[in-house]
């Protein structure tokens, strides 16, 4: 990717994020519908004995199947904004294995399984994530700490969503997350964030930390305004929320457009060309590269041409749950464009007291669009699509 392309992306992100423009909203909505349908289909395949790499590849295939059929007349860029990632139990996020020997997992009964992915249309991004637990007896609810952490993450995400509105601050969102998690004797995961997004930009400097950490990661407090889009990404641990980087090599990377280097290895040059052409500024999983080009990733990362997404882990005995959504803030209010999926069958030993701040927040209404309309429209045009769309209410 040359400097001219970098400057073009920067210009697009600055001037083309007008949420009062129906065309912009339509692209966000289409990306959201595609991501929602892909997530739904991946969740439906989660079961004991299934390989994580196969689920990740399937999620990407669903996204690409849809995006390949839309906006083709004007060569609009579209595709995967975040590769399908599946992180289990104490693994926090960013796991998208190649399926090679030593780089895969097989799902088992009792696993708490986090799935996240994203799509984009013309650089307009929608990402989402969901948590399920593999139940040995689907007719009975899962109990214990797995149930507690799933409930904590769900209500923390829903409370946070209701606090993202014009005039509120990121601090209020952080407080809502912490309060909801504490009600289930759980903790937000350190180092994990939500962020404002723009066209071709997965994260601006407007960050919402799940765990405030001004000493190690200082962020500026800010107020939500109209004409902003956000990825709300809530991760909760059944333990104290502390985590550390694992021994596994990262398998998700993103092109660092601000770094240049004269590559020596043929495989590295080939990988760089494939990454720049296929993925642009968006993250990718190494499994998506041509097998021969994967050898070049090490040199690219060594010289900071790629930014890794390391995998972090809490204590082995802990479970981590995640709920992720895309939110638009307009002059008419806040709208969630990636609706919630059906929750796993769990029963927590904890409840939300009626007089708690979390209960008060949860009584507030929030606008949620119905998913699947754009996907259904693709199918109505006679395009071969991977499945049926969703129609979900809050």
Full residue range of the structural domain in which residue 349 is found:
3-248+311-380
- Would you say residue 116 lies in a domain? yes
Task: Note whether residue 391 is domain-resident.
Answer: no
Residue 215: what pLDDT? 74
User: Both tokens of residue 233?
Assistant: 């990404």
Compute the half-sphere exposure of residue 178: CA atoms within 13 Å on the CB side of its CA: 12
Q: Tell me the torsion sign for CA atoms 319, 366, 165, 332.
A: positive
3-class state of residue 84 by DSSP: strand
Rounded CA-CA distance 24/279 in Å is 21
Q: Is residue 303 part of a domain?
A: no
Predicted local distance difference test score (pLDDT) of residue 257: 87
Total domains in the fold of the chain: 1
Does 173 map to a domain? Answer: yes
Q: Give the per-residue SS3 of 333-350.
A: EEEECCCCCCCCCECCCC
Rounded (to 5) percent helix, strand, coil in the chain? 30, 25, 45
Q: How far apart are the first and last CA of the chain?
A: 42
CA distance 44 to 41: 5
Q: In which residue are the tokens 């992180």 written?
A: 87
Q: For residue 322, give the 3-state DSSP assignment.
A: strand
Contact yes or no for 93/237 (Cβ under 8 A): no
For residue 384 the two structure tokens come to 């071969």
Predicted local distance difference test score (pLDDT) of residue 236: 98
Q: How far apart are CA 153 and CA 369, in angstroms?
A: 21
| Among the listed residues 43, 55, 90, 131, the one whose alpha carbon sits nearest the alpha carbon of residue 323 | 131
CATH number of the domain where residue 221 is located = 3.90.230.10
Per-residue model confidence as pLDDT tens for the chain (394 residues): 455 555 555 555 556 788 999 999 999 999 999 999 999 999 999 999 999 999 999 999 999 999 999 998 888 899 999 999 999 999 999 999 999 878 899 999 999 999 999 999 999 999 999 999 999 999 999 999 999 999 999 999 999 999 999 999 999 999 999 999 999 999 999 999 999 999 999 999 999 999 988 777 788 999 999 999 999 999 999 999 999 999 999 999 999 988 888 888 899 999 999 999 999 999 999 999 999 999 999 999 999 999 999 999 999 999 999 999 999 999 999 999 999 999 999 999 999 999 999 999 999 999 998 766 656 555 544 333 333 322 222 2
Report whether 68 contacts 224 (CB < 8 A): no
For residue 167, tell me if it sits in a domain. Answer: yes
pLDDT given at position 381: 42
Domain assignment present for 28:
yes
Q: What are phi and psi of 379, to 5 degrees?
A: -65, -35
DSSP 198: B
- CA torsion 61-62-68-71 (nearest 10°) is -150
Distance CA 193, CA 312 (A): 13
pLDDT at 374: 59
CA-wise closest residue to 157 among 178, 140, 137: 178
Strands 252-255, 187-188: pairing kind:
unpaired
The residue ranges of DSSP E strands in 286-371, in sequence order, are 306-308, 312-313, 320-330, 333-336, 367-368
pLDDT at 325: 98
Residues 36 and 381: their CA atoms lie apart, in Å, by 20
Residue 17, pLDDT score: 81
Please report whether residue 222 resides in a domain.
yes
Q: What is the pTM (predicted TM-score) of this model?
A: 0.90
Q: Note the pLDDT of residue 54.
A: 97
- Asked if residue 306 is part of any domain, the answer here is no
pLDDT, position 287: 95
């Amino acid at each position: 990717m040359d400097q001219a392309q970098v400057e073009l992306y920067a210009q697009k992100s600055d001037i083309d994020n007008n949420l009062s423009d129906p065309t912009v909203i339509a692209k966000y909505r289409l990306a959201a519908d595609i991501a929602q349908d892909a997530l739904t289909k991946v969740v439906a395949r989660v079961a004991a004995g299934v390989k994580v790499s196969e689920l990740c590849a399937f999620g990407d295939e669903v996204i690409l199947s849809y995006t390949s059929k839309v906006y083709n007349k004007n060569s609009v860029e579209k595709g995967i904004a975040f590769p399908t990632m599946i992180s289990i139990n104490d693994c926090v996020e960013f796991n998208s294995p190649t399926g090679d020997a030593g780089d895969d997992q097989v799902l088992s009964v009792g696993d708490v399984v986090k799935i996240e992915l994203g799509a984009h249309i013309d650089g307009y991004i929608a990402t989402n994530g969901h948590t399920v637990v593999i139940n040995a007896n689907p007719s009975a609810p899962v109990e214990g700490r797995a149930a507690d952490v799933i409930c904590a993450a769900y209500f923390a995400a829903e409370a946070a969503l209701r606090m993202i509105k014009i005039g509120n601050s990121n601090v209020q969102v952080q407080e809502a997350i912490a309060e909801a998690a504490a009600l289930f004797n759980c903790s937000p995961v350190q180092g994990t964030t939500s962020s404002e997004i723009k066209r071709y930009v997965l994260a601006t400097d407007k960050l919402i930390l799940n765990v405030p950490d001004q000493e190690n990661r200082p962020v500026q407090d800010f107020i939500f305004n109209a004409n902003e889009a956000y990825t709300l990404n809530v991760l909760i641990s059944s333990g104290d929320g502390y985590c550390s980087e694992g021994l596994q090599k990262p398998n998700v990377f993103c092109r660092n457009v601000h770094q240049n280097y004269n590559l020596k290895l043929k495989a590295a040059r080939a990988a760089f060309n494939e990454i720049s052409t296929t993925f642009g500024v968006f993250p990718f999983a190494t499994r998506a590269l041509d097998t021969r080009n994967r050898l070049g990733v090490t040199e690219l990362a060594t010289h900071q041409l790629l930014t890794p997404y390391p995998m972090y882990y809490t204590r082995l005995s802990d479970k981590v749950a995640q709920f992720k959504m895309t939110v638009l803030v307009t002059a008419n209010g806040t709208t969630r464009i990636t609706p919630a999926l059906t929750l796993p069958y769990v029963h927590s030993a904890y409840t939300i007291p009626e007089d708690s701040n979390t209960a008060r927040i949860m009584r507030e209404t929030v606008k949620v669009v119905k998913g699947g309309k754009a996907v259904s429209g693709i199918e109505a045009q006679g395009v071969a699509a991977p499945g049926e769309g969703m129609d979900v209410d809050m």
